[in-house]
Amino acid sequence: MPALAPQDRPHWQRVLWLAAGGLSLLTGLIGLLLPLLPTVPFVLLAAFCFSKGSERCERWICEHRHFGPMVLNWRAHRAVPLRAKWIATVMMSISSIGALFLVPMPWGVVPGLCCAAVGAWMWTLPHGPRPGAQAVAPGRWPPSA
């Protein structure tokens, strides 16, 4: 079944997708200030939601100076830049160590276990485009076959 373009969806669905995208983007922005809350996954989720709710919002996030490259890199290559991996690893480590001191046991180890799982998955992803890969331009997502 082909994916529906945002304008082909009922109004109430577009509103829900836009609200989910806005909430995801807001959560990602809060993650810039709180080390335990990741930014990139929420920005990627926002881009996905915007692709279902509004071509204009999707184009905005894909062309954004800071968010655009990570969204397009993820869509085209399922890649996370090496610098972002290192920053995420350091921030998750600091947050996990802080949780050990601030959260009573045994709950204090839960953030560390979650961060370790996310970190292990993240480091299995490529750092950038594979040789011969082409970029994905903003537009309907997922692209039609």
Residue type for 98, please?
Answer: G
Q: What does the pLDDT average to over 72-76?
A: 87
Give the whole-angstrom CA distance, residue 18 versus residue 50: 6
Most confidently modeled of 25-34, 52-61, 86-95? Answer: 52-61
Sequence-distant (6+) residues with CB within 8 A of 69 are none
Confidence of residue 57 (pLDDT cuts 50, 70, 90): very high
Cα 8 to the center of its chain, rounded Å: 25
- The answer to whether residue 36 scores a pLDDT higher than 80 is no
Peptide bond connecting 106 to the previous residue in cis, omega within 30 degrees of 0: yes
Mean per-residue pLDDT, 77-91: 85
Residue 75 clears pLDDT 70, i.e. is over it: yes
